[in-house]
Amino acid sequence: HQKQQHEKQQQQPSNKTFCPKKSKQLVGTIQTYLDPVNISTVESKYPEVRKGGNFRPKECTARERLAVIIPCRNRTQHLHILLNNLLRLLIKQRLDFTIFVIDQDLPTTFNRGMLFNVGYLEALKRGSYDCFIFHDVDMIPTNDKCLYRCTHNPRHFLSGVSKWKYRLPYKSYFGGVVSFTRDQYRKINGDSNLYFGWGGEDDDLRARILHKGYSLLRYPQSIGRYDTISHQRDSGNKANPARFKLVKSAKARQDLEGLNTARYTVTSSVTRRLYTKIQVYINMTE
Ligand code: UDH
């Protein structure tokens, strides 16, 4: 029933033209707002966003349906800052999007990769999304020409991040903000579910992409510039000592575990004004 309702909301009248690939409203570098903000302030700024965090341009038909998947545990303040910046950009780009926030129940150690899988699977239960952007809660785009769209290959959005002096920690880094079409993510069997704790899952994801014959796209320096919100190391997300060994076996495990073996229990699903929040329990021993 929930899916039917979403689908109904998403049905498009056929007499409209497609939205332009690059909206004329885009200017390039934009100001970022990194200070804490109340969610009610953000809500009042975006009356055009519908409950559950859904927006669709009225004057044109968007080219694809985008699900923005944000893993977020104990970072509500960051989430509000991100929404305060990101919604403006997505609306300006005239995208048809829904924001999904995926939270993981305590006490299990944080598992970012598995939360991506949850986001993908749960979003598709609620609507027919074509494009998935997995978005860390503390990455703030600084250029509105950074298009939140999917392309013929998976894309890494970041070319430089403020906390690394607008560079990347290493050349093959594939964390922060990445995009996949529905098909691309399914073909690589999503993320690994095995990375509990900090590190490694992004390198595993990159290995999966290359192993299935995709190449990697990345926005150029001026477009992929991101600001970050500084933070302490999170509790419940200690550096994972198994990560180096796991990354080595990424290709061998790819078809055996990932999207096709993600086991979790949805403990709550709530439609807030600016996002759909899905809370999950992950059993580490399953
Ligand atoms: N996150 C939470 N809560 C947590 C931990 C992580 O919400 O307790 C989410 C959040 O969206 C965050 C993302 O997971 O932005 C990434 O976690 P992080 O902020 O700890 O990662 P970090 O910024 O990553 O430290 C930098 C990685 C550079 C090296 C990559 C190694 N492969």
State in Å: Cα 217 to ligand 1 middle: 21
d(CA 125, CA 120): 9
State in Å: Cα 57 to ligand 1 middle: 32
State the alpha helices, DSSP H only, in 29-98.
39-45, 76-92
Query: ipTM value of the model?
Result: 0.96
pLDDT in tens, the chain (286 residues): 666 666 655 555 566 899 999 999 999 999 999 999 999 999 999 999 999 999 999 999 999 999 999 999 999 999 999 999 999 999 999 999 999 999 999 999 999 999 999 999 999 999 999 999 999 999 999 999 999 999 999 999 999 999 999 999 999 999 999 999 999 999 999 999 999 999 999 999 999 999 999 999 999 999 999 999 988 888 899 999 999 999 999 999 999 999 999 999 999 999 999 999 999 999 988 6
State in Å: Cα 100 to ligand 1 middle: 17
- Is residue 155 within 8 Å of residue 216, measured between CB atoms? yes
Q: Which of 116, 138, 161 to mutate to test the pocket of ligand 1 (most atoms within 8 A of CB)?
A: 138
The pLDDT value given to residue 101? 98
- Is residue 115 within 8 Å of residue 128, measured between CB atoms? no
The pLDDT value given to residue 11? 58
The pLDDT value given to residue 18? 95
The verdict on pTM exceeding 0.90 is yes
Question: Which protein residue has the closest C-alpha to ligand 1 atom 15?
Answer: 136
State in Å: Cα 59 to ligand 1 middle: 37
State in Å: Cα 187 to ligand 1 middle: 25
State in Å: Cα 219 to ligand 1 middle: 21
d(CA 206, CA 137): 20
Question: Which protein residue has the closest C-alpha to ligand 1 atom 16?
Answer: 136
The pLDDT value given to residue 2? 66
d(CA 144, CA 174): 21
The pLDDT value given to residue 142? 98
Q: For residue 138, give the ligand 1 atom closest to its CA.
A: 15
Q: For residue 71, give the ligand 1 atom closest to its CA.
A: 11
3 state DSSP class of 171:
coil
The pLDDT value given to residue 5? 64
CA 149 to chain centre: 12
Name every protein residue with a CB atom under 6 angstroms from any ligand 1 atom. 71-75, 110, 112, 136-138, 169, 175, 198-200, 202-203, 234, 236-237
Q: Which of 161, 164, 186, 181 is nearest to 254 (CA)?
A: 186
State in Å: Cα 276 to ligand 1 middle: 21
